[in-house]
Structure 1
């Protein structure tokens, strides 16, 4: 009968502790962005309203994404900051992109973005909601984001053309996935 050697348990516990620490740090970062970030509305381009496997959701397509893809069309890989100028309704209008954060005027905000291949990403593009409410959310005209001073963006909702937040008809709040 072969003797079994027992591995020490401490590497497992260190790994578990590190995973918990990293997850909590990510949650803290998102909570801080929600409480301290500035609200920016981004115009939406046409989108796909549902997925058979995931249920009802909107795949948001920001107009800013299309502008950045056109601006950086010749580059396969680019990381930078989109400079936005906010109008009186809080809608961010693309001005230009920068490789490093520029100084900002009071009505300007930055959004950090990455371009890989032909696609630009800066915030969640999937907005999930209760099944059967797809028609209600078809009136979405703006993505509502919280944006930090460092340019990190978090999708928190969608708004209609009158800048009113679209909450579920039954009062529940939909979710976005980062």
Structure 2
């Protein structure tokens, strides 16, 4: 009996892990590419070990616009420039249908910071120089606002990294 319970628990855990992997792989394959500007970060703390600390310009702008009136979690709407993945903040998501080139992006307030996706980009040891020119974070975003960081880009939206192409 105990063996069956352990086996059932293991199957359940593996099923949940695989479902999560499938969701992320689907998002990477079919999500809309959105490039968000990175806010300036103190250069002395930019590189910390094998990752880069990230701060998003849209998060700072959202905090400046709304201050303490910002809900603890929700979504924003960003609009991509015509013919580009470069996007800028439009508004808080109020449930109205999205226009062409608009994407919903989930956020959460943690302490004094607005968190969008992640605040760190990890890379292979010794590769910090490949990412020093980062000006944009490239995200894959689905219709619900869930996003994954897929890479960093320079000021011209060129991909950064050892191979210089889209990950």
Structure 1: unaligned runs, 5 residues or longer: 1-6
For 1:135-146, list aligned pairs within 5 A.
135-146=129-140
Q: Which has the higher strand share?
A: 1
Q: CA RMSD in A?
A: 2.3
Shift of 1:124: 2.0
What does residue 4 of structure 1 align with? Answer: none
* Cα pair 1:143 1:158 within 8 Å, conserved: yes
Query: Counterparts of 1:74 and 1:126 in 2: how far apart (Å)?
Result: 25
Inter-partner Cα distance in structure 2 for 1:110 and 1:87: 15
Could you say what secondary structure the match of 1:26 adopts?
A: helix
Match of 1:95 in 2: 90
1:161 aligns with 2:155: yes
Bigger shift: residues 115-124 or 13-22: 115-124
Conserved? CA contact 2:105–2:141, under 8 Å: yes
Q: Per the alignment, do residues 70 and 15 of structure 1 end up closer, same or farther by CA in structure 2, a change over 3 Å counting?
A: farther
TM-score, normalised via structure 2 length: 0.86
| Equivalence for 2:127 | 133
Deviation at 1:101, TM superposition (A): 3.4
Rg (Cα) greater in structure: 1
Contact 1:81 1:101 in 2 (8 A): no
Deviation for aligned residue 1:117: 3.0
CA distance in 2, matches of 1:172, 1:17: 40
Which residue number corresponds to residue 33 of structure 2? 39
TM-score, normalised to structure 1, is 0.82
Q: CA deviation at 1:74?
A: 1.1
Change (3 A) 1:9 1:172: farther
State the match for 1:49 in structure 2: 46
Deviating runs (4+, > 3 A) in structure 1?
none
Which 5+ residue runs of structure 2 have no aligned equivalent?
none
Q: What is the CA–CA distance in structure 1 between the aligned matches of 2:113 and 2:56, rounded to whole Å? A: 12
Q: SS of 1:41's equivalent? A: strand
